[in-house]
Amino acid sequence: MRTTLHLAGVPSSLAEFAATHRRAIADALLAIAILSFTVPATLLQLSFSLWGPIPDWIEVLVEVITVGTLLIRRRTALPMIIASVVCAVVTGQIVPMAFAAYSMTAENKVRHWQAVSIPLIAAATAVDYVDPGTDNFLYLCLVRALTLIYLPALIGTWVRGYRGMIFELRAGMRERERLAACRERRKIARELHDTVTHAVTVMVLNAGIIHDNADPEVDRLATTIEDKGVEALGELRDLLTVLRREDEPRAAAGARAIPRLVEEAAATGTQVSLRYDLPDIGLPTQVGHACYRVVQEGLSNVRKHAPGSRVHVVCETEDGVVTVSVVNGRDTGRARLSLQRLLPTSGYGLAGLEERITLLHGRLERGATSDGGFTLTARIPCRPGNARSSGDLAGEVADEVAGGERP
């Protein structure tokens, strides 16, 4: 998980970099702190060795190697433990051992950390005992060694336990959210099956009755209603499958179905023109289906709110961005019947369409035109490798909502 930082006065790119490389930055700052503590003591002749005088360059080299092992402490703690003991014996610096003791328990890299702490405490006691700047009381040296080694190791166990608890809480929260979403999807599926599917089925059956007992003109209209009703039942069946299995509908219409959608709109009396310039292959399923839904929603809104207007549909791609727009002019008032008086307005069509486009990292624009019409435009990035399944997109959203990182 990548947690986004919101810091006043800090550019978003810098905040994102800090969040992404949080552990690496912490290790680098810790390495600088240890070098700032050990190297000046060596250069100022304040260090000492259990084996007598040692050249400064050897001491500095040992300190740098010790800091280098600090950078791999999250993968393995043994190199840092050995290097910190050598650093303490050669330079008299026991601070790296305190960090080694903390890391071996906080990162859970040593199974029997109590046993490993014994040689560290012994080395710290010996170095403190021979330090010319301290007293020569052995029990005080042992107490200080226990404080500097065992206490950080104990704190590391507490930190590890806290991280594990946070991870379990976040995992439980994600699981509860998943189960709640699953229950909600099943509830919606039941409602769709019990209400909408039933109503559409009755409509198809009635259209079939009219089809068998009507004149040619009414027969043609009844056939159209029957065909669209059967198509709607198929889409509802796919939608119910999606809600219950969280999969993408296998019969989901893509961009290649847009010309057929425009032809159907023209057959119902809508004055519509199409400029289609999208590739037949290479367009991700999610993007193609979103393009189809944009045109479908735009034409549906025109039939509801401006049935007498002229509509222009444009589908094109440029510089890795797919642009789909549905633009209608001002309603001429020549339509015989406005569906706006017959069909209820839900207000959810454009909102749902915007959510669909946002999941694809695109942008939906809508608004009035200068001539009193309306425009609906979607711009969706579509570069090679951008094709992702609906499960991947849902996983991204869930990660953003749940947050968290396994320790």
Q: What is the pLDDT of residue 285?
A: 83
In this predicted structure, the answer to whether residue 385 has a pLDDT above a threshold of 60 is: no
Q: State how far the Cα of 76 lies from the Cα of 109, in Å rounded to an integer.
A: 6
- Asked if 30 contacts 99 with a C-beta cutoff of 8 angstroms, the reply is yes
222 vs 55, more confident: 55
Q: pLDDT-derived band of residue 407, with 50, 70 and 90 as boundaries? A: very low
Distance CA 387, CA 376 (A): 24
**pLDDT score, position 183:** 78
Ranges 133-147, 240-254, 387-401: which has the least confidence = 387-401
Phi-psi region of 12 (alpha: psi -120 to 50; beta: other; left: phi over 0): alpha
pTM score, two decimals? 0.44
- Beta bridge partners, 366, equal 376
Question: What is the pLDDT of the chain when averaged over all its residues?
Answer: 76
Q: How does pLDDT run across 81-110, given as a tens digit for each residue? A: 888 888 888 888 888 888 888 888 887 777
Instruction: Give the tens place of pLDDT for each residue, 276-292.
Output: 988 877 788 888 888 98
Q: Give the span between the Cα atoms of 314 and 321, in whole angstroms.
A: 14
> pLDDT at position 191, please?
65
Give me the amino acid identity at 111: R
Domains and CATH numbers, the chain: 12-174 (no CATH), 253-388 (3.30.565.10)
- Polymer length of the chain: 407
Radius of gyration of the chain (CA): 35
**pLDDT of amino acid 275:** 92
Answer yes or no: is pLDDT of 5 > 60: no
148-157, 199-208, 218-227, range with greatest mean pLDDT: 148-157
Mind listing the pLDDT tens digit for each residue in 347-365? 567 887 888 888 888 999 9
Mean pLDDT of 234-251: 62
Crossing angle (nearest 10°) for helices 22-43 and 95-106: 160
Q: Does pLDDT of 136 surpass 60?
A: yes
